[in-house]
A and B are shown apart, each in its own frame.
With several copies, the nearest count.
Chain A
């Protein structure tokens, strides 16, 4: 499997996700945002961080960079695209994913390990997880408060396009287990084709027991076959 990580000025989880991909045996390449061509690959990752300092709106400026036109092209032709954290924000700014990410409801940056539930394990990104599996995973963001219009929200729920929801240790999805105010506790969504996944939590931080746990491993291994 070949993967490509897009690097924007201000990306800072680009190395982290590259390390994870390589550890999972992807053949990975980094591509600078000023490039106009993408190498042929099976997976494109838009990494986390603070592209352009999150100035204006997080993801807005990266959403206008040269390489993004290419990302949109290949995404529309079915290539797998994974946006993590700032990557998720960028994907919503490009329109590849609908909705947007507002400021956390407590107006503070939040970094901690939280729990999410796998709602849909019938996708190329999640099939190695069990349905309703609870993962412990790290979040680190200022704007993770997912918002969209009622129509889209209904579609997400009905078409099973919600990948993950925030929950508690036991799997309960409620206001207490919602760290940032996200609509319906949404932590990650697919596009209608399910070849694009945007998620706020950081799976690349969960691949090593010494550092955290290995709850992110299956996301990468799902993508391998």
Chain B
């Protein structure tokens, strides 16, 4: 079973990368850009048929390693 996980910085946490990317895009003439925030994305496949159990396993991976819960939020979706 496959899941996608998106990890984003919590609101109000400084996103130095997003800031620089945003300035660059605007300087390149893409002035319609209102905001951009950068995060991480994982594609995870687990050996488990039951969706709830599988999702729980992915959740454990997020909590234990993939996500820094202090500054990041995350969302798991089945793909």
Contacts and interface: CB of A to CB of B under 8 A. Distances in A.
A146 B12 CA distance: 14
A99 B12 CA distance: 13
Interface string A92-117: 01000011101111110000000000
Interface of B: 12-14, 16-17, 20-21, 24, 28, 38, 64-66, 68, 70-71
Contacts of B24: 52, 61, 64
Interface residues of A, number: 22
Contact of B28 (A64, A104, A147): A64
A56 B17 contact: yes
Contact of A147 (B13, B20, B64): B13
Contact of A64 (B65, B70, B71): B65
B71 A55 contact: no
B68 A100 contact: yes
Contacts of A56: 17, 20-21, 38, 65-66
B20 A55 contact: yes
5 contacts: A52-B24, A53-B17, A55-B17, A103-B16, A149-B12
| Residue from B12, B20, B66, B70 having most chain A Cβ neighbours under 10 A | B20
Contact of B65 (A53, A60, A99, A104): A60
